[in-house]
Chains A and B, each alone.
Chain A
Amino acid sequence: AQTVTQSQPEMSVQEAETVTLSCTYDTSESNYYLFWYKQPPSRQMILVIRQEAYKQQNATENRFSVNFQKAAKSFSLKISDSQLGDTAMYFCGTYGGSQGNLIFGKGTKLSVKP
């Protein structure tokens, strides 16, 4: 069975600083995708960044980047130059299984402080 573990229930960071959110996963699939989603207090989940497991290069989207360690099954999210609008729940997720269902970890609540 596939699992996603986020070991940091809450984190805080000062505005303009850098923060890293951790995620580990387990899957028996050889071809899978990893995602980070953001859920602001308004509740709608939005995609932050995605990584295809077959790509060695770490994905980057503006201030967001990942550190993908395939052998260790680790997929951390780095947010640079944190902004107040980054305050949200962050969920790590992965597609797994031949049928393609998408599962998530329990989330990390990030607070960006002025």
Chain B
Amino acid sequence: GAGVSQSPRYKVAKRGQDVALRCDPISGHVSLFWYQQALGQGPEFLTYFQNEAQLDKSGLPSDRFFAERPEGSVSTLKIQRTQQEDSAVYLCASSVLGRTEAFFGQGTRLTVV
């Protein structure tokens, strides 16, 4: 596709349920970023991939959060045993290389009830 695609756009999960959020980056983009954005706040960095290598996962808030990019293209952010504080918009971005323009997807709005 022409841009970064995220699915689903909206997800409602019951507390304790596991969820998986998908990101399809722009073809050929080496770098991929995940962010968590609470309402009215800036994007908080979660993790960063260069191809299939997860170079930085310092922003993942707990061991319930896990991200992968096994073939260096599509990435999945998984949240286990969701809690209400996980409710946020999850943004994915990709770029050709680090330090260049990052292109963002529309995000996935996760609501935990």
Per-position 1/0 for B72-106, Cβ under 8 A of A:
00000000000000000101010001111111111
Given A50-B101, A103-B45, does the pair A45, B56 have CB atoms closer than 8 Å? no
**Which chain B residue has the least Cβ–Cβ distance from A37?**
B104
Q: Contact: B43 with A100, CB < 8 Å?
A: no
Given A32-B99, A50-B101, A99-B56, does the pair A43, B41 have CB atoms closer than 8 Å? no
Q: Contact: A44 with B107, CB < 8 Å?
A: yes
How many inter-chain contacts with C-beta < 8 Å in the A-B complex? 64
Number of interface residues of A (CB under 8 A): 26
A109 and B104 CA atoms in complex are apart in Å by 19
**Which chain B residue has the least Cβ–Cβ distance from A43?**
B107
Q: Contact: A106 with B42, CB < 8 Å?
A: yes
> Which of A45, A50, A101, A105 contacts B91 (CB under 8 A)?
A45
Q: Contact: B33 with A101, CB < 8 Å?
A: yes
Q: Contact: A44 with B43, CB < 8 Å?
A: no
**Which chain A residue has the least Cβ–Cβ distance from B109?**
A43
**Which chain B residue has the least Cβ–Cβ distance from A9?**
B40
Q: Is A46 located at the chain interface by the 8 A CB criterion? A: yes
Q: Contact: B99 with A104, CB < 8 Å?
A: no
**Which chain B residue has the least Cβ–Cβ distance from A108?**
B42
Chain B residues engaging chain A, CB cutoff 8 angstroms: 31, 33, 35, 40-43, 45, 48, 50, 55-56, 89, 91, 93, 97-107
Chain A residues engaging chain B, CB cutoff 8 angstroms: 6, 31-33, 35, 37, 42-47, 50, 91, 95, 97, 99-107, 109
- Other A-B pairs beyond A45-B104, A91-B43, A102-B98, 17, CB < 8 Å: A31-B99, A33-B100, A37-B104, A42-B106, A44-B104, A44-B105, A45-B91, A46-B104, A50-B101, A95-B99, A99-B50, A99-B56, A100-B31, A100-B48, A100-B55, A101-B45, A107-B41
